[in-house]
Chains A and B, each alone.
Chain A
């Protein structure tokens, strides 16, 4: 292996990357856009559930109940309706997800201390929102009961919930540390995976073959620029996460960056391996990258969907996904302040993965025309 030849390949690759400013721009814009969408647009919190009310009582008591619902902030009253049929219309056109039906004798029942029944109809199609709405409805009912004059009932069991690591339950705080992984997947799957396949498809590989450069030099030469882009992307994402969005970084930033470098190395090597195996078709390479890197990183890493909820075989599959380990590392360092000792297992596996994939890429790279 000669350093000079590696340098030459890296330089050639870099020129090629710079000649395609659109792809390079997307490589940086994509993580930025995702950071901002996750940071601003998306929340797992459910509020403003649109609600229709069928108030058959029309008393001050029933209005109080309705305003209790409004004041909770979880429900927005979309309309007051005058019949059961309207519920159908509102639900079918997605203008409401909850219907409250207050019966005629509601205030009488409450005043005489009898349990007053209130009908609730939920649009169950979005089961998550429906489950959460049901919880809120019961909470609002409880609050209403405690405000009633003469109510002395104390809750029998006082449930004290506390949330650790992310006390305000900000989706942002758990999404952004995990997002670094998706960014990696993007760089790897979309940028690197085409690099060898493109040379074959365009016929420039023949030119490369006719030079004295060795496979290991080509692989390393191609690795360097993509590694740099991926690494710059990660630094940018960490910086924006910490300084712009104020995600607390409890652990050591150096540990995070060091492990990110190992992960990037493995990822970029894997992209090159895909590209070598795609046998000269960029379409095949892109699909392989999508299925083996992008989707697993997005779906199976635990970045957004909890691994413990997956069916057994898929849970097993997550063990061979490097992104899974890096999500644990990133979330651990960011939110829990984990140290290298606590992450030793994940760090070792990532290093082994990177080394194995790199060796495989060099071995698989064939320098001959078929």
Chain B
């Protein structure tokens, strides 16, 4: 049995690597995806183009503008002179944020009366808008606190929060997102390759040739799957290495756990790809079905949107998603240095998912051949 599987695997490798464009396909595309996702998927908001409408024009208002600018979050690009100009700048999308310092800002501060600052944000991108609003409030409140602290009587904040940040002290979103990117690229590649390869054999009619050979269905299935398991593993190593060195990310945990986690993850994703291929007839269908599965799997995994914020029904749905478990594993290992003692439930879940789906698809596979 193992002899036949070995020959089948060798045949697959020869067939795959004979063509140079397949090299590009298998190893180039994940890298391009890594760079695209790695740079784009960020929740850091910097250089928000900002219009400043300073109606006060005093040293105090200029100091506030200077602080906004030097924070790095805001880049003041325009100095409108009327509310109409602000409206126009926001309408044309030239600025995302407009800050209006009202008249008598400085004199109100001196008189200990609340001085008014208006922050207008373009809500068309609500995430950026919310973050911009938070940053602006933080900077302005800090400035306010600095202004009053010389006089002990006007204690603004009687509670002094001493904040410490664990695992990612600089709060760089890249440290959180790049491991997520690696996990989702591997899923997309692995699903697409497996489902298309098996379907291709059927579409081209070469499946019949394999069936007349003495190979048994289970061997045929393993022979088709093992090469993709190896290639996906190679992709994982490639993408992880490039990701770590290029984006300068540290892996705190042990590589052996990453290896274990990847193995069970690939088991379940390969199983899924195989399962899809037993339902589908053409490569067109394989491509559509892969994307049909992949999009929600990415959205409902915690990759970009935390699962806790979803409605309960959707939270339950995520338990069926292998990416959900692997994200916890890979982020735990990268950021928190977690080990098997913490991550075993996720690994067990992936193993169970993988075994179930592989069993299902091998049953279906045999039926389709018969």
Contacts and interface: CB of A to CB of B under 8 A. Distances in A.
Contacts of A165: 90, 122-124
Contacts of A43: 305, 309-310
Contact of A153 (B154, B203, B332): B154
A310 B35 CA distance: 12
> Which range contains the number of B residues in contact with the other chain?
35 or more
Most buried by B among A119, A131, A306, A331: A306
A130 B287 CA distance: 37
A42 B21 CA distance: 38
Contact of A174 (B124, B134, B140, B204): B124
Interface in B317-347: 328, 331-332, 335-336, 338, 342
A240 interface: no
A125 B300 CA distance: 19
Interface residues of A, number: 112
Contacts of B280: 22
Given A127-B44, A142-B157, A92 B112 contact: no
A125 B310 contact: no
A314 B291 CA distance: 25
B126 A125 contact: no
A236 interface: no
A310 B39 contact: yes
Interface string B117-129: 1111111111111
Interface stretch (B91-99, B207-215, B222-230, B233-241): B91-99
B250 interface: no
Interface in A202-245: 202
Nearest to B172: A127
Interface in B27-64: 29, 32-33, 36-37, 39-49
B164 A119 contact: yes
Contacts of A132: 130-131, 134
Interface in B256-298: 280, 282-285, 287-289, 291-292, 295-296
B22 to A, nearest CB: 8
B352 interface: no
B79 interface: no
Interface stretch (A25-33, A252-260, A351-359): A25-33
Interface in A109-124: 110, 113-124
A67 interface: no
Most buried by B among A93, A156, A186: A156
A299 B39 CA distance: 10
B46 A309 contact: yes
A331 B124 contact: yes
Contacts of B92: 342
Contact of B176 (A125, A171, A314): A125
Contacts of B90: 164-165
A262 interface: no
A60 interface: no
A63 B115 CA distance: 33
Interface string B187-221: 00000100010001001100000000000000000
Interface of B: 21, 25, 29, 32-33, 36-37, 39-49, 90-93, 96, 109, 112-131, 133-134, 136-138, 140-141, 143-145, 147-148, 154-169, 171-173, 175-176, 192, 196, 200, 203-204, 280, 282-285, 287-289, 291-292, 295-296, 299-300, 305-306, 308-311, 314, 328, 331-332, 335-336, 338, 342
